[in-house]
A and B are shown apart, each in its own frame.
Chain A
Amino acid sequence: MNTVKIKDPAVRSYFFGKGFQDLRATIADGGKRNFDSAKGFIKKAPGWAEPMDVIKSSIWYAIGISILFFGSIFYMVASALHILLLGLFFIAIFIGFTGIWMIERWYLAIRSFFLACPHCHANSNIPEYFCDQCGEIHAQMLPNSYGVFFHRCLCGNKLPATFFLDRGRLQARCPVCHENIAREHVESRRIFVPVMGGPSTGKSAFLFGAVRQLVDHGVGHERFKAKPFDKRSEDAFRRVESMLRSGIPPDKTRDPIPRAFNLGLHKNGRLSFLLYLYDPAGEAYQEADKLSEHGFNNYLSGMILIVDPFAIPSVRSQYRTQLEEKYGAVKPSELSIEEVVDRLLMTLEADFGLSKRGKVSQPLAIVLNKSDAFGLESLIGAPALDRVMAQLSEKAPPDRNEARNRVLRNQLVKWGEQAFVSRIEARFSLVSYFACSALGRMPDRSKVDFTAKDVLPPLLWIFGKYDRANSIMSAKLY
């Protein structure tokens, strides 16, 4: 439970450490003092030679024996009371900190407050905290034997030991990678979404295209304002945004274990949601051991799988001529979509507790990218959807989301990806299909701004599944 294993630079509660040392020393010293006192009185006896000496000696001896006898009785009673008192305080404090600890755990659990490190993706109940006076690290800033409500640092500073006393005001760090952690990485509503897919599927373009739209236009009925949460995310966003504005596609992601891109969704000036968007290098999906280091799989809110239609053999064959001309602009992904999903599932089974036949409960958005290329739009984009909607509306009022799922699922099957579709639907409880153009057009030398198309619906669908109140998600996804 909350047994303190790590020694913090704090003063342990008197009743859990020093109290018992003091008790032992007091009991030993009390007994010795009694014995010495008795011996001291007996030594005063002048002897037994004279009648007066006999009387005096008898008195000194009587006093000595009284101290030895009655003093020992008193000493035993006092020792027992001392033990009882210390024991009572020990039990009371133990019950106190266990109770507060349990209430805190329960409260943090229902609010989904835990540390999710944006740097190394480690997760733990709480981070390590710095003393705001001396800077010492306190690894167990919880109600425990160091204190129920406060811990006293060895520098004398009193530190709040529970969430309820604003523990979050202290600077924190990740216990694994030791990077400093902002309070919101522990105490806020967060949504964790990795953007997955093989190399050259357009994950970075998708992510930054979506972020750009969120930042520029806000989101949802209640108009959340989006802005990069920290300087690192801000810098990354500004760099990619300026590239996109200049008609340059984002650089290829090199890091197989990405740091989270954090985007804050603010309402009325206050942070309502903190988004963690992960953009691992596509090469990570070629090596299972790289995927096992994606610690964020432990606390996913949902997943986005970017599919490059030109990684599908039948599509590649269908558009062979066009691809030969524009291969550099389209950059078809070389990794098959089945392989990406197989590696992901294998990793989830091996390292993240998914059983062999279990289903992933988090929503999965399958996003067919590059819909702008070679007229694919007519097969997977709005025109295809409009056709199906027109057919459906003859029977009953159609559901646009359902229609979109049908169009894209059927198209994947037509392209010979029945195995992929079946595997996805067998292993993921909640799947939805989307199509987008992360750059909005084919890259060329024109230096015209890239404007992503239809990149928000997959994100908003996942946000909507996470946010039960549905306050983020727009009613119309597509």
Chain B
Amino acid sequence: MADDDMGMVIGSIIFLTSMLIALSIVLLFGAIIGAAVGSYNYCKAIQTHVRLERPGA
């Protein structure tokens, strides 16, 4: 009985840990993708809208 309980505890820990790692990886990738796309979008917005006036140039 005690061995079964111990196995369940260890199993749960391994499961939760792997879930956490998986979630972290997902979040990390998400953050990288989000930041990359966000920065690309902001840079494109700057490129589109920021124009220094140079009359006569």
Contact = CB atoms under 8 A, between A and B. Distances in A.
A22 B50 CA distance: 5
A226 B37 CA distance: 76
A75 B38 contact: yes
21 contacts: A18-B52, A22-B49, A25-B48, A26-B49, A29-B45, A34-B41, A37-B37, A66-B34, A67-B34, A67-B37, A68-B34, A70-B38, A71-B35, A74-B35, A74-B38, A74-B39, A75-B38, A78-B42, A152-B55, A156-B55, A157-B56
A33 interface: yes
A327 interface: no
A66 B39 contact: no
Contacts of A68: 34
Interface stretch (B3-11, B13-21, B25-33): B25-33
B1 interface: no
Nearest to A75: B38
Contact of A11 (B29, B38, B45, B55): B55
Contact of B49 (A29, A62, A156): A29
Nearest to A12: B53
Interface of B: 26, 29-31, 33-35, 37-39, 41-42, 44-46, 48-57
B43 to A, nearest CB: 9
A34 B52 contact: no
Contacts of A34: 37-38, 41
A63 interface: yes
A18 B49 CA distance: 10
Contacts of A26: 42, 45-46, 48-50
A18 B45 contact: no
A25 B38 contact: no
Contact of B30 (A18, A63, A72, A153): A63
